[in-house]
Amino acid sequence: ETGVTQTPRHLVMGMTNKKSLKCEQHLGHNAMYWYKQSAKKPLELMFVYSLEERVENNSVPSRFSPECPNSSHLFLHLHTLQPEDSALYLCASSQGTGTYEQYFGPGTRLTVT
Protein backbone atom coordinates (compact mmCIF):
# COMPACT_ATOMS: atom_id res chain seq x y z
CA GLU A 1 0.00 0.00 0.00
CA THR A 2 1.29 3.46 -0.79
CA GLY A 3 -1.53 5.68 0.54
CA VAL A 4 0.20 6.74 3.76
CA THR A 5 3.88 6.04 4.26
CA GLN A 6 6.06 6.48 7.32
CA THR A 7 9.81 6.50 7.80
CA PRO A 8 11.70 5.12 9.50
CA ARG A 9 9.81 1.93 10.32
CA HIS A 10 12.01 1.25 13.33
CA LEU A 11 14.01 3.66 15.46
CA VAL A 12 16.18 3.18 18.51
CA MET A 13 17.35 6.32 20.22
CA GLY A 14 18.96 7.38 23.44
CA MET A 15 17.37 9.84 25.79
CA THR A 16 19.67 12.63 24.69
CA ASN A 17 19.21 12.14 20.95
CA LYS A 18 17.18 14.22 18.55
CA LYS A 19 15.35 12.43 15.77
CA SER A 20 12.39 13.01 13.47
CA LEU A 21 9.60 10.80 12.21
CA LYS A 22 8.23 11.45 8.75
CA CYS A 23 4.78 10.80 7.32
CA GLU A 24 3.64 11.32 3.75
CA GLN A 25 0.17 10.83 2.32
CA HIS A 26 -0.59 10.43 -1.37
CA LEU A 27 -4.38 10.58 -1.08
CA GLY A 28 -5.02 14.28 -1.48
CA HIS A 29 -6.32 14.55 2.07
CA ASN A 30 -6.52 17.75 4.07
CA ALA A 31 -6.14 16.42 7.61
CA MET A 32 -3.26 14.53 9.20
CA TYR A 33 -2.82 13.00 12.63
CA TRP A 34 -0.21 11.57 14.96
CA TYR A 35 -1.23 8.74 17.30
CA LYS A 36 0.73 6.88 19.95
CA GLN A 37 -0.01 3.18 20.39
CA SER A 38 1.43 1.48 23.46
CA ALA A 39 0.99 -2.12 24.45
CA LYS A 40 -2.42 -2.78 25.92
CA LYS A 41 -3.51 0.85 25.50
CA PRO A 42 -5.90 2.46 23.08
CA LEU A 43 -4.80 4.63 20.24
CA GLU A 44 -3.89 7.95 21.85
CA LEU A 45 -4.35 11.01 19.67
CA MET A 46 -1.40 13.36 19.90
CA PHE A 47 -1.83 16.02 17.23
CA VAL A 48 -4.29 16.96 14.49
CA TYR A 49 -3.52 19.16 11.52
CA SER A 50 -6.16 20.49 9.17
CA LEU A 51 -5.05 22.35 6.06
CA GLU A 52 -1.56 22.57 7.58
CA GLU A 53 -2.79 24.25 10.74
CA ARG A 54 -2.62 22.50 14.09
CA VAL A 55 -6.12 22.12 15.44
CA GLU A 56 -5.43 19.80 18.33
CA ASN A 57 -2.62 19.31 20.79
CA ASN A 58 -3.77 16.64 23.16
CA SER A 59 -1.70 17.64 26.19
CA VAL A 60 1.42 16.16 24.67
CA PRO A 61 4.78 16.86 26.37
CA SER A 62 6.93 19.46 24.65
CA ARG A 63 9.61 16.86 23.90
CA PHE A 64 7.31 15.95 20.98
CA SER A 65 7.14 18.71 18.37
CA PRO A 66 5.01 18.32 15.24
CA GLU A 67 5.52 20.06 11.93
CA CYS A 68 3.24 20.13 8.90
CA PRO A 69 4.94 21.99 6.04
CA ASN A 70 2.19 21.13 3.54
CA SER A 71 -0.91 18.98 3.38
CA SER A 72 1.03 15.91 2.22
CA HIS A 73 3.77 15.83 4.82
CA LEU A 74 3.81 15.57 8.58
CA PHE A 75 6.79 15.32 10.88
CA LEU A 76 7.21 14.51 14.54
CA HIS A 77 10.42 15.88 16.01
CA LEU A 78 11.68 14.06 19.07
CA HIS A 79 14.16 15.25 21.69
CA THR A 80 15.15 14.20 25.21
CA LEU A 81 12.63 11.37 25.23
CA GLN A 82 11.98 9.04 28.14
CA PRO A 83 11.88 5.23 28.10
CA GLU A 84 8.10 5.38 28.60
CA ASP A 85 7.85 7.09 25.22
CA SER A 86 8.73 3.79 23.57
CA ALA A 87 5.71 2.86 21.46
CA LEU A 88 4.36 2.54 17.94
CA TYR A 89 3.75 5.97 16.44
CA LEU A 90 1.07 5.97 13.79
CA CYS A 91 0.35 8.68 11.29
CA ALA A 92 -3.07 8.94 9.66
CA SER A 93 -4.79 11.16 7.15
CA SER A 94 -8.38 11.85 6.19
CA GLN A 95 -10.30 13.95 3.71
CA GLY A 96 -11.23 16.32 6.51
CA THR A 97 -11.56 16.29 10.26
CA GLY A 98 -14.67 14.85 11.82
CA THR A 99 -16.69 12.06 10.27
CA TYR A 100 -14.21 10.89 7.65
CA GLU A 101 -12.39 7.59 7.41
CA GLN A 102 -8.84 7.82 8.65
CA TYR A 103 -6.15 6.05 6.68
CA PHE A 104 -3.23 4.90 8.77
CA GLY A 105 0.41 4.52 7.90
CA PRO A 106 2.39 1.42 8.91
CA GLY A 107 3.83 3.15 11.95
CA THR A 108 7.28 3.74 13.39
CA ARG A 109 8.31 1.41 16.20
CA LEU A 110 10.26 3.65 18.57
CA THR A 111 12.48 2.35 21.34
CA VAL A 112 14.05 4.81 23.76
CA THR A 113 17.04 3.45 25.64
Partner 1 sequence: GENVEQHPSTLSVQEGDSAVIKCTYSDSASNYFPWYKQELGKRPQLIIDIRSNVGEKKDQRIAVTLNKTAKHFSLHITETQPEDSAVYFCAADNQGGKLIFGQGTELSVKP
CA distances from 96 to 18, 32, 85 (A): 31, 9, 28
In terms of CB distance, is 66 or 107 closer to partner 1?
107
Interaction residues for partner 1, span 8-67 (CB under 8 A): 31, 41-43, 45, 48, 50, 55-56
CA distances from 98 to 4, 46, 58 (A): 19, 16, 16
Count of residues engaged in binding partner 1, rule: CB under 8 A: 21
Question: What residues line the site for partner 1 (CB under 8 A)?
Answer: 4, 31, 41-43, 45, 48, 50, 55-56, 90, 96-99, 101-102, 104-107
